[in-house]
C-alpha cells in the first residue's frame, strides 16, 4: 500500500505546503490552511473524467454552420450572435437585482416548452421560491426541472441522468465542489466548480448558462479565470430603479462583441425593446433648456438618446462636476473646452450631466450633444427640438469626424428629426439628405452659434 503524507492546502487559492502556516504565503489569507492526506494517486484537475480521448480531423467535426438553439427574444439573440451554440458556456453577470435570474428563468421556461428538458440549478433559492417566481412569468412547462441547493457533483450527476438540452446554474458563486476545500464562493471553489460543470457540458454538447455576481467595482466576483473558461460573457447593465436594461457582450467566441440588447423590466418579466430610440426619447420635454439629442452607435445599431445638463452658480471653492451615464473625466475635458474655446464661463458654476434612460455613453461621438446641452443650460436658451448632434470635440475646440455618420443620420431621419449637426468632413460630401438638413460645422464655437440661430 502506498504511503500517505499530510499536506496543508489553502482553501482560498489552493496553494499546498508541507507544514501548517497561520497565513497562506501565496494569497495572504489567515487561517485558511486545511489538512489533507496525499497518497500515491495524484489529484485530478477539476472537470476531468479520466476517459481516454483521441484526435480527429478538424474538417470532420463541424459543417459549414454551427447549429444553435433558439432564444425567446430578438434582443438576446442579437447579443449571442444568433442563439445558443451547442456545447457553449455563457456567463451572465450583473449587479444584484438587475434581472439576471429573471432572464435566465425566462430562457429556461421557453426552451423547456419549445425544445426539451431544461435543468435549472439554484443554489440561492429553494424550489418553492423559484416556482413562485416562475408562475409570475407564465405557465410552467413540464420539462423544466429544478435542483435546489446543488453541489457541483450533483449538477453533473443530473446532467448525466436527465440529459437536458440546457443547464442553468444560478449562481456559480453558490455552488460547492465537495472534493475541494473552502466555502462556496471562495476562489478555489468558483474556479474548480465552474471547470467541473463546464467539462460535463462540453462532453454532452449542451449549452450551459452560469449566472455570476459582480463586485462593488463592477468586475465579476471570483477568479479572473472564470471569464477565460467560458465562451461568452454577458453583462446586464442599467439602473435598478429604471425599467430599461442593457445586455452587452464583452466576450463572444461565436459572435460579435459590438452588439447590445435593450430590455425592459415589467411585472411579467423582461420584455425586449425593439425600438430603443423611441423608448429613450418618449418622455423628452420639448423646449427645455439643457436638453440635446445625441446619436450613439451600440455595435451596428444607431440609438438616439437624450442628454441633459444643468448648470448653477456656485462658490469657486465648492464647484462640483457630476456625471450620470457619462465618463466623468470626459465631462471635465468638455467643460474646460467650453470655457477656453467657446467663451462660456463655467469656472464658478456647478455642472450636472445625466443620460436619460439608464444608458451609459462611452463613445466620443456624443461630445457635441453634451457640450450643446451644457451651453444651452448656461445661457438658459433651448436648443431646436428637431435637431440631433453628432461629433467628437478636440482640445482645440474643433469638431472631429466619427464613424458611420450616414447610419446615424438615417436613424435621426427615421424618427422625424429635421436637422443633424455633423462634422464638416461629412457635410462636404453630403450637403443635404432627403428630408433632413445637414449642418456641417468645423468648431464648437460655430456649432453653438448655428444651434442658437436655428
What is the pLDDT averaged over residues 2-26? 73
For residue 17, being part of any structural domain is answered with yes
The grid cell for 350 is 456647478
CA dist 241 and 268 (Å) reads 17
CA dist 243 and 354 (Å) reads 16
Closest listed residue to residue 207, CA positions, set 171, 249, 254: 254
Q: Burial code of 37-53, b = ≥16 C-beta within 10 A, e = fewer?
A: eeeeeeeeebbeeeeee
Q: pLDDT at residue 46 above 60?
A: no
Q: pLDDT at residue 276 above 70?
A: yes
The model's confidence at residue 139, banded by pLDDT at 50, 70 and 90, is very high
What does the pLDDT look like over 400-434, one tens digit per residue? 999 999 999 999 999 999 999 999 988 654 555 56
Same domain, 148 and 250: yes
CATH number at 326 reads 3.30.230.10
The model's confidence at residue 454, banded by pLDDT at 50, 70 and 90, is confident
Same domain, 268 and 284: no
The confidence score (pLDDT) of residue 433 equals: 53
What is the pLDDT averaged over residues 76-91? 93
What is the pLDDT averaged over residues 265-281? 90
The confidence score (pLDDT) of residue 205 equals: 92
What does the pLDDT look like over 317-338, one tens digit per residue? 889 999 999 999 999 999 999 9
Same domain, 160 and 237: yes
For residue 47, being part of any structural domain is answered with no
Q: pLDDT at residue 231 above 60?
A: yes
Pairing of strands 291-298, 269-272: unpaired
The model's confidence at residue 399, banded by pLDDT at 50, 70 and 90, is very high
The grid cell for 192 is 474548480
Alpha helices in 53-184 (DSSP H): 74-80, 100-114, 127-137, 152-162
For residue 117, being part of any structural domain is answered with yes
The model's confidence at residue 2, banded by pLDDT at 50, 70 and 90, is very low
Task: Give the residue, 6 or 192, on which the prediction is more confident.
Answer: 192
Task: Give the residue, 358 or 295, on which the prediction is more confident.
Answer: 295
Domain count, the chain: 3
Least confident window among 118-132, 214-228, 244-258, 320-334: 214-228
Q: pLDDT at residue 49 above 70?
A: no
Task: Out of 11-25, 194-208, 215-229, 230-244, give the one with best mean pLDDT.
Answer: 194-208
Same domain, 240 and 376: no
Task: Give the residue, 41 or 32, on which the prediction is more confident.
Answer: 32
Least confident window among 85-99, 102-116, 233-247, 404-418: 233-247
What is the pLDDT averaged over residues 345-351? 94
The grid cell for 269 is 418579466
What does the pLDDT look like over 176-192, one tens digit per residue? 998 888 888 888 888 89
Q: Is the peptide bond before 144 cis (omega within 30 degrees of 0)?
A: no
What is the pLDDT averaged over residues 308-320? 92
Same domain, 105 and 33: no
DSSP readout, 236-292? EES-TTSSEEEEEEEEETTS-SS-EEEEEEETTEEEE-S-HHHHHHTT--TT-TTEE
Total-model pTM: 0.77
What is the pLDDT averaged over residues 340-363? 92
What does the pLDDT look like over 362-385, one tens digit per residue? 899 999 999 999 999 999 999 999
What is the pLDDT averaged over residues 148-161? 92
Name residues whose C-beta falls within 8 Å of residue 151's C-beta, 6 or more positions apart in sequence. Answer: 175, 176, 177, 178
The model's confidence at residue 47, banded by pLDDT at 50, 70 and 90, is very low
Same domain, 248 and 327: no
The grid cell for 329 is 473625466
Q: pLDDT at residue 440 above 70?
A: yes
**Which among 240, 274, 308 is the end of a domain?**
274
Mean pLDDT of the chain: 87
The confidence score (pLDDT) of residue 18 equals: 76
Same domain, 218 and 244: yes
For residue 49, being part of any structural domain is answered with no
Q: pLDDT at residue 312 above 70?
A: yes
The confidence score (pLDDT) of residue 65 equals: 63
For residue 381, being part of any structural domain is answered with yes
DSSP secondary structure letter of residue 57: -
**Which among 218, 250, 274 is the end of a domain?**
274
CA dist 22 and 138 (Å) reads 53
For residue 23, being part of any structural domain is answered with yes
**Which among 259, 274, 289 is the end of a domain?**
274
Domain membership of residue 254 as a residue range: 68-274
Cβ(15)–Cβ(33) below 8 Å: no
Same domain, 323 and 428: yes
Q: pLDDT at residue 51 above 70?
A: no
Least confident window among 13-27, 166-180, 258-272: 13-27
Amino acid at each position: 500500500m502506498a504511503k500517505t503524507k499530510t499536506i496543508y492546502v489553502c482553501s482560498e487559492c489552493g496553494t499546498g505546503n508541507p507544514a501548517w502556516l497561520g497565513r497562506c504565503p501565496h494569497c495572504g489569507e489567515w487561517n485558511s490552511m486545511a489538512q489533507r492526506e496525499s497518497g500515491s494517486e495524484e489529484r485530478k484537475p477539476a472537470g476531468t473524467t479520466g476517459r481516454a480521448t483521441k484526435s480527429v480531423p478538424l474538417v470532420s467535426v463541424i459543417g459549414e454552420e454551427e447549429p444553435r438553439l433558439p432564444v425567446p427574444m430578438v434582443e438576446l439573440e442579437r447579443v449571442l450572435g444568433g442563439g445558443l451554440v451547442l456545447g457553449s458556456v455563457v456567463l451572465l453577470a450583473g449587479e444584484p437585482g438587475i434581472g439576471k435570474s429573471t432572464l435566465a428563468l425566462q430562457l429556461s421556461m421557453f426552451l423547456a416548452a419549445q425544445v426539451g428538458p431544461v435543468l435549472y440549478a439554484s443554489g440561492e433559492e429553494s424550489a418553492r421560491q423559484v416556482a413562485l417566481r416562475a408562475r409570475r412569468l407564465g405557465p410552467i412547462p413540464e420539462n423544466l426541472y429544478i435542483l435546489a441547493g446543488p453541489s457541483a457533483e450533483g449538477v453533473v450527476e443530473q446532467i448525466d441522468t436527465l440529459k437536458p438540452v440546457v443547464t442553468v446554474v444560478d449562481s456559480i458563486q453558490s455552488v460547492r465542489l465537495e472534493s475541494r476545500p473552502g466555502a462556496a464562493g471562495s476562489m478555489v471553489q468558483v474556479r474548480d466548480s465552474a471547470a467541473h460543470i463546464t467539462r460535463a457540458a462540453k462532453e454532452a454538447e449542451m449549452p450551459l448558462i452560469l449566472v455570476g455576481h459582480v463586485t462593488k467595482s463592477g468586475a465579476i466576483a471570483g477568479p479572473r479565470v472564470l471569464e477565460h473558461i467560458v465562451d461568452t460573457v454577458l453583462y446586464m447593465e442599467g439602473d435598478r430603479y429604471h425599467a430599461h436594461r442593457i445586455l452587452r457582450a464583452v466576450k463572444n467566441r461565436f459572435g460579435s462583441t459590438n452588439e447590445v440588447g435593450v430590455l425592459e423590466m415589467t411585472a411579467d418579466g423582461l420584455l425586449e425593446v425593439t425600438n430603443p430610440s423611441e423608448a429613450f426619447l418618449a418622455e423628452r420635454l420639448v423646449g427645455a433648456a439643457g436638453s440635446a439629442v445625441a446619436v450613439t452607435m451600440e455595435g451596428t445599431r444607431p440609438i438616439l438618446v437624450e442628454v441633459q445638463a444643468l448648470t448653477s452658480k456656485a462658490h469657486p471653492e465648492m464647484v462640483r462636476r457630476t456625471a450620470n451615464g457619462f465618463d466623468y473625466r470626459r465631462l471635465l475635458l468638455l467643460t474646460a473646452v467650453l470655457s477656453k474655446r467657446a467663451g462660456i464661463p463655467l469656472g464658478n458654476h456647478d455642472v450636472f450631466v445625466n443620460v436619460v434612460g439608464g444608458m451609459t455613453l462611452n463613445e466620443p461621438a456624443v461630445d457635441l450633444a453634451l457640450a450643446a446641452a451644457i451651453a444651452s443650460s448656461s445661457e438658459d436658451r433651448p436648443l431646436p427640438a428637431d435637431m440631433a448632434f453628432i461629433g467628437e470635440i478636440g482640445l482645440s475646440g474643433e469638431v472631429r469626424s466619427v464613424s458611420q455618420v450616414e447610419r446615424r443620420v438615417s436613424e435621426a431621419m427615421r424618427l422625424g428629426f429635421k436637422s443633424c449637426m455633423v462634422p464638416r468632413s461629412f457635410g462636404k460630401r453630403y450637403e443635404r439628405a432627403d428630408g433632413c438638413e445637414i449642418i456641417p460645422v468645423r468648431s464648437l464655437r460655430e456649432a453653438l452659434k448655428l444651434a442658437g440661430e436655428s
